[in-house]
Amino acid sequence: MTRAALAALWLPLLASTTCGKDKSESTPPAQNAPKRAVLFIAADLRGYVAPCGCSENMRGGIARAAEQIARSRKSGAPTFFVEGGDSLFGPGPLKEEQLPQEERKARAIAQAFQQMGLATRARGELDDARGEAFRTSLQLPELAPGQAKILDSGAGAAKLGVAAGGTDAELLQAAKKARDSGATFVLGLYHRPLADAQRLAADPSLQADLLVATHSDGVDAADNGKLLQNAGVPVVQLQDKGQVLLRVDLALEGGAARFEPIRSSQEVEKEAASLQERIALLNAQVNEPGIDPALHAMKQQKIGELVVRRAVLLSAPPPTMEGKNAFSARFVPLDAALPMDPAVKATVDAYDRDVSKLNLEWARAHGKDCPAPTAGAPGFAGTARCAECHDESMPVYRNSKHSRAYATLVEAGKQYHLNCIGCHVTGAYQPGGVCRVDKIEGRENVGCESCHGPGSVHSEDPSVKNIVRKPEKQACEGCHNHENSPNFDFARYLPQILGPGHGQPLAKKKK
């Protein structure tokens, strides 16, 4: 779907709006209109600025998140962006060769946060992967554990507070500080897993209205996160590598009264769930191997229409509360059909350009070759060496996407990205393989040895005993995992790389 078509579908949401001068504050609504405010919360980005692009319609991207926030500001409602931490870096420890890329990425994320009008953020241990001095040099507005910040909603007595903590005591202290400072709504950013947040939410002394668990426990949240309506304070899990935003709509109609949680109408929730099911089904279909191009284009257009319909649905404010302060929380999936904020996209594009140059320069100056295989162990011979004896397999291989894997990186300008080449070259980071981005020649693409294992011993002494004849499913899922290839199905994809001479018998020649 074109940008113009997407914009047309968004028009009902943007009608009669103005844009504030400062991204962290917006033009207040008209005096006679219901008083509203919107909070957007992100957390656990883990260094992801955008999806890798290995599959179609991959969800996520900081530029898409920025556009959602910008559109809310244009609607006239005071809109605030809050971030929960563990976002500047992924899990460590970082290797020496990763430092140029990871530091540049952290700076790009910080710049994007500033462009998005970040009001405040908590911090997690992943944010300090390069030390406290590096983190503070990014000059982001941060909340120390146990501290709170008041955000001016522009709605009279209604004040919004953000509290941060990594322990029960810190979060309880911070929430109390926010309440003592006059906050009528308090958002708690709790740097603990979901189970701990649920336990704390039941504590009657917790003076928060909504608690967000911002710390990963080693298991990714579902695509849309988790929202639990407890007997006490509602709890949200937001651990998603930037695939969704949490949107909190606030009705500021009750002066200094405490906020009441409300659910979206059952009709809205049902329709949103139905749209999500249809989008997921179509996403699987457009990623089906060998899909007809015309059918692919038709389904892609339909995905775009459904994504925008759902986004408009999830952006609608909750009903008027007749003199009460109330809030609703929803997840906004950042699907590929949604538009991107141009300024933040430019920041991400600049990172992509810079990091390739930085990695190449570092490899030339400091790079080290992979260690040699141990005595008697096979090394990588290269696809050309395989073709010397298995010429009958080459036509099938050359017609597969595996044979063009490295070219896709070149086209995207990511052939020197360390988190990409591992699945687009043969023998990455293995003994006798590729450990330097400046020494990839001869190992480009997903070659024979990516599936069948190092072949140097086999090439000298051909035998079914010294080569992997039929790779198992696990060999594929190292790269075709849920993150990079969410619609991968071994049984459906395998036939795409099989054919006469490669997993199937050759056709008999006519006499």
Burial class from Cβ neighbours inside 10 Å (0-12, 13-18, 19+) for residue 31 reads exposed
What pLDDT band is residue 86 in, cutting at 50, 70 and 90?
A: very high
Mean pLDDT in the chain? 86
Query: Over the stretch 337-376, which tens digit does the pLDDT of each residue have?
Result: 899 999 999 999 999 999 999 999 999 999 999 999 998 8
Give the pLDDT of residue 28. Answer: 43
CB 85 within 8 A of CB 122: yes
Q: Using the predicted structure, report yes or no on whether residue 225 has a pLDDT greater than 80.
A: no
> Mean pLDDT over residues 46-58, rounded?
88
pLDDT of 294 higher than 70? yes
pLDDT more than 90, % of the chain: 54
Band (pLDDT 50/70/90 cuts) for residue 201 is: very high
pLDDT at 350: 95
Residue 30 has pLDDT above 90, yes or no: no
Q: CA 298, CA 141: separation in Å to the nearest integer?
A: 45
**In this predicted model, what pLDDT tens digit does every residue of 454-492 receive, in sequence order?**
999 999 999 988 999 888 888 899 899 888 888 888 888
What is the model's pLDDT at position 454? 93
Helices (H) and strands (E) in the chain, counts: 17, 14
Instruction: Catalogue all structural domains in the chain, each as residue range(s) with its CATH number.
Output: 34-264+318-346 (3.60.21.10), 272-317 (no CATH), 370-504 (1.10.1130.10)
Angle (deg, nearest 10), helices 342-366 and 62-74: 160
Whether 85 has a pLDDT exceeding 50, the answer reads: yes
Residues 6+ positions from 118 with CB-CB distance below 8 Å = 24, 81, 82, 83, 140, 141
Positive or negative CA dihedral for 281, 287, 289, 295?
A: positive
Instruction: Using the predicted structure, report yes or no on whether residue 29 has a pLDDT greater than 60.
Output: no
Alpha-carbon Rg of the chain, whole angstroms?
A: 26
The encoded tokens of residue 216 equal 């990963």
Q: Is the pLDDT at 274 greater than 70, yes or no? A: yes
End-to-end CA gap in the chain: 53
Taking residues 324-344, what's their average pLDDT? Answer: 90
Mean pLDDT value across residues 300-311: 86
In angstroms, rounded to a whole number, what is the distance separating the alpha carbons of residues 24 and 39?
11
**Mean pLDDT computed over 161-173:** 97
Q: Can you give the pLDDT at residue 170?
A: 98
φ, ψ (nearest 5 deg) of residue 131: 95, 160
Q: Output the pLDDT for position 12.
A: 45
Which tokens in the block code for residue 52? 């890798």
Contact 164, 145 (CB under 8 A): yes
Residue 171, SS3? helix
Asked if the model's pLDDT at residue 105 lies above 60, the reply is yes
Q: Which of 83, 67, 78, 82 is nearest to 38 (CA)?
A: 78
What pLDDT shows up at residue 261? 84
Give 265's pLDDT tier (boundaries 50, 70, 90): low
Identity of the highest mean pLDDT range in 140-149, 310-319, 397-406, 458-467: 140-149
- Beta-sheet pairing, 148-155 with 158-165: antiparallel
> What pLDDT, on the 0 to 100 scale, is given for residue 260?
84
Residue 132 burial (10 A CB sphere; 0-12, 13-18, 19+): exposed
For residues 185-191, average pLDDT? 96
Comparing 131 with 30, the larger pLDDT belongs to 131
